[in-house]
Amino acid sequence: MPAARDGDIARLLAIMARLRDPDGGCPWDLEQDFSTIAPYTIEEAYEVADAIDRHDLPALKDELGDLLLQVVFHAQMADEQGAFAFDDVVDAICDKMVRRHPHVFGDASFADAEAQTVNWEAIKAAERKAAGEEDTSALAGVSRGLPEWQRAVKLQSRAARVGFDWPDTAPVIAKLHEEIDEVRVELAAPPSPERDARLEDEIGDLLFVAANLARHAKVDVGGALRRANLKFERRFRAMEAIAAADGTTMSALSLDQQEALWARVKATE
């Protein structure tokens, strides 16, 4: 492996190439392909978001390194197939950033960030057309690989750009109540495969409208749900600690006793 200074991307690229070397490389790394590494790439992106949410900069440094490794891993596998190399990835994103920021690297000007975002989307549409994509829908280019909550928000935002949107949160909340009522109807129906399918459909509608409410309120759905998860975990662990201090376990308590513990923990926050 060639010598490289600390912080030099060439060092990381050389390490990855060595790990993938059929002659003495790492057996696990050699077994991987794009599809097997993709879940790790997604996981590392979430761990970056988690470090940011916790305001943990040392952890963020480590997690960004892990995420960068994912990029290098994919680029190495592509290079082995003769498709593209890491330098091509860098060149492509540099060209894209210059092309999509004509107000910075060219003579264009925009009145505000919203106008700039509209132009950004227009440039992306032109790029898709130049690449031979025939989908001209306002929803074109919304990846099916996104987490579904994130895809819901993107679909809603795209539709809103052509005017298909509620004016404020009031009708969204009304729609949310409507969807809850429809879920109640299905829950009250006799169980059957058809009823289960309808229930899944109605709960999907409910979640979709909840995401829309967050978008209108300018609340990040992922961030809000992440904080809700952390809050639940914190409170539940505190309940377990109290139960253990009392010489019992959560599973030994009745639901009423558990709810009393929940209220006790909540009151201390």
**pLDDT digit string (tens) for 113-126?**
778 877 877 887 78
**DSSP annotation of 108:** -
User: In whole angstroms, what is the distance from residue 264 CA to residue 252 CA?
Assistant: 18
Q: How confident is the model at residue 2 (pLDDT cuts 50, 70, 90)?
A: very low
Whether 199 and 183 have beta carbons less than 8 Å apart is answered as yes
Q: Is the pLDDT assigned to residue 185 strictly greater than 90?
A: yes
Which of 2-11, 118-127, 137-146, 243-252 ranks highest by mean pLDDT?
Answer: 243-252
Confidence of residue 144 (pLDDT cuts 50, 70, 90): confident
* 3-state SS, residue 190: coil
- Give the mean model confidence (pLDDT) for residues 146-163: 91
Neighbouring CB atoms inside 10 A of 236's CB total 15
Residues recorded for the chain? 269
CA dihedral for 213, 214, 215, 219, sign (positive or negative): positive
How far is 13 from 111, CA to CA, in rounded Å?
42
Q: Nearest CA to 209 among 221, 227, 194, 199?
A: 221
Q: Which residue has the tokens 């761990």?
A: 47
* Tokens encoding 207: 């979640």
What is the rounded distance in angstroms from the CA atom of residue 69 to the CA atom of residue 19? Answer: 12
Q: Is the pLDDT of residue 150 over 60?
A: yes
* Closest by Cα among 108, 107, 124 to 161: 124
Measured in whole angstroms, the distance separating CA 194 from the mean position of its chain's CA atoms is: 32
Dist CA 46 CA 59 (whole Å) = 13
The predicted-structure confidence for 29-67, as pLDDT tens digits, reads as follows 999 999 999 999 999 998 998 899 889 999 999 999 999
Find all residues with CB under 8 Å of 240, minimum gap 6, and list them. 249, 250
Judge whether 80 and 20 are in contact, CB under 8 Å.
Answer: yes
How many helices, marked H, and strands, marked E, lie in the chain? 12, 0
Q: With b meaning 16 or more CB within 10 Å and e meaning fewer, what string describes 190-206?
A: eeeeeeeebbeebbebb
- Please give the residue that has the higher pLDDT: either 177 or 117: 177
